[in-house]
Amino acid sequence: MRGTTAFFLLSLAFLLGTLLATAADVSQEAQLIKFMSSRALKRLRSRPTAANEAEEESDPWADPDTFAHLPERCKGLPSGGSKLADRILGLPGQPPRVNFRQYSGYVTVNEEHGRELFYYFVESPYGAASKPLILWLNGGPGCSSLGYGAMEELGPFRVNPDGTLRRNKYSWNNLANVIFLESPAGVGFSFSRNTTDYDTVGDRRTAEDAYVFLVKWLERFPEYKGRDFYIAGESYGGHYVPQLATVIMSMNRFPGPALLPRINLQGIFFGNPLLDDYLNGKGYLEFLWSHGVISDEAWARILANCTFTPSDDWPCFVAAHAFQKGNIDRYNIYAPVCLTPSKNGTFYPSSDSMPGYDPCSYHYVEPYLNNHAVKSALHARVDTKWTGCSDDLAWNDAPEFMVPTIKRLIKNGLKVWIYSGDFDSVCSLTATRFSVNDLNLAITSKWRPWYTPDSEVGGYVQQYQGGFTFASVRAAGHLVPTFQPKRSLVLLYSFLKNMLPPADIPDSWRSDFGF
């Protein structure tokens, strides 16, 4: 019987075992799994009532009056710095002939609490004055856009094992000017002087703080006011990105007395997102079964015991955990993994089967960002111990279903693209397809392959009513710009040009990309 002491203790032990097994893992994968396990535990302890379920299915971000207090928060709030002071003269270990400007520093988003968000901004080396502005948000919740997004995925540099930097040929700043925001406070170098903020954080405050950050950042960089602006992200960014877009669109229409600068939001572009807790669980398990990780017998037991709705109970939980995955990277089930340190203390990849990809890269990024000289160059607080993901945040609000929010953004005319690396099991292509189907949009351009400038199939794409676009990225894991940097850049190019990636590559594309 659900709710008995024996049941609760058993479920708690099982879940805590999962958490403890990943306690030393600071990756985004571990952070997302811990978050989802915590939510599963809450559901096991208290089955949702019909009223709760109806509330969960509604869109809690639909009322624009929810954000009526934001003009007051933005009015007269000092940003805490200046553009000149934030200019990076050079990062330790960076290669010669860096031909773009870099900035980093803090923006105060709540003066009373002393809440400050840290950003790293790179301009494009080619025509920065005419290129759009992109804000990149990593997920978690609670993981760093600087350490992951900038240093391991789409930023201009990658960190070498010896602590030097090398250029990323496929950096997104080839096509746009890019801000990497460490959000919320408590992540990376971002902080609050009132530590109770770490116990009261959630989706809503994260979105509101990010909006205040943008307003103040644009005061610091006024040349970007009115520039075409896009929000991009991944993973738990499936919450962050559409929620921030909702705040911006609401505030752009806000008729209040304190007129705020209109943020020229053109679209959102996010990958391998967490959109629906239940469908994500179904997609995760179906993906593993379809890729040979789960046996037919185990899959049959899952289907016999799980409905993938709030009504699922302990038998489903047991069936869904009764198989062995082995030592694979759940973010890319075909990628090599980083093995435990050898006798001399160095980490090493299990194989070199993916040229250009190093699964141990985080172990170079963390010491690099904790180097005193690097912190000084970044204008970060030198007494901060930087980590990739924060364990200090108690997440208080997060809708379990993001489809209503995304559907409303599409209805209101925003360009929305979702992409999915097809080797990721955690936020799988399978799961995302379930959520895309729940949008109930008519197909306007049927599923077909798209190509890279070297005539490889980069993935598959389909477009829907209202311009909504869903694309897969072939042979990519959860961190698409890490596993397939060229393909991610081609897809971004298509998004910014507002056209589907082509079924064949025109010669003009080859010249644009330098291939």
Q: How far is CA 426 from the centre of its chain?
A: 13
Count of beta carbons in the 10 Å neighbourhood of residue 313: 16
Q: What is the Cα–Cα distance from 419 to 458, expressed in whole angstroms?
A: 12
- Active-site annotation holds for 424: yes
Distance of CA 392 to the CA centre of its chain: 19
Q: Choose the catalytic residue: 86, 209, 276, 424.
A: 424
Whether 478 is a known active-site residue: answer: yes
H helix runs in 266-321, sequence order: 277-290, 296-305, 314-320
CA atoms within 13 A on the CB side of 459: 27
CB atoms within 10 A of CB 163: 14
Which residue in 104, 478, 488, 494 is the catalytic one?
A: 478
| Spatial CA neighbour of 277 closest among 378, 159, 417, 400 | 400
Is-catalytic flag, 228? no
Q: Which of 235, 428, 488, 494 is catalytic?
A: 235
**List of residues 6+ apart from 72 with CB closer than 8 A:** 258
Answer for the pair 224, 218: CB distance below 8 angstroms, yes or no: yes
What is the Rg, in whole angstroms, of the alpha carbon atoms belonging to the chain? 22
Distance, in Å, from the CA atom of 123 to the CA atom of 180, rounded to the nearest integer, reads 11
**472: closest CA among 441, 499, 445, 433?**
433
Give the phi and the psi of residue 106 in degrees, each rounded to 5: -110, 145
Q: Is the dihedral of CA 111, 115, 120, 126 positive or negative?
A: negative
380 neighbors 180 (Cβ within 8 angstroms):
no
Determine phi and psi for 327, rounding to 5 degrees. -85, 75
The set of catalytic residues is 235, 424, 478
